[in-house]
Structure 1
Amino acid sequence: MSNSQAEKTLMDLIKLFYKYTGQDDLIAKLGLLIMMMENFPNFLMPDKRGTDYLANLFETKDENGYKKIDFYKFLSTLGGVVTNYHRDTA
């Protein structure tokens, strides 16, 4: 059975996460910022959010202060960005 488009999209998101993580399976703040700027520039809208938007969002997810987040928190961060984009474009 072939994967649906939605399944392919989610699998690509997993691959994208791993492209920017270290061997510890965590994404660092800088890696997240680079990944978002390279792959989701239209979702960031810095003119509306300010230059520290992603950094501040990352800080709220980095509860333990390790300066890295796991896949679950990565999805939560991405979900926040997408939700804000949806709200702004609706």
Structure 2
Amino acid sequence: MALMITDECINCDVCEPECPNHAISQGVEIYEINPDLCTECVGHFDEPQCQQVCPVDCIPLDPDRKESQEALQQKYLLITQA
């Protein structure tokens, strides 16, 4: 699954620089995660780094973007080869 940022986001700016895939960017009102670039840090780290640094715990799994570990690994390989 890709991750998502909820309305509880306080725009603290700590998640964006932690994303190794550059999937996080400032949206109109809050930060957003590009699901095409989010691998939940598979291939880089054992746990999603954005979730680790978020002070308000507003980065859950996106229930509309279910992906297996294998699919996330394949996405990582495609992103890093590009």
* TM-score normalized by the length of structure 1: 0.30
* Structure (1 or 2) with the larger CA radius of gyration: 1
TM-score by length of 2: 0.32
Query: Looking at both structures, which has the greater relative contact order when contacts are Cα pairs under 8 Å and sequence separation is at least 6?
Result: 2
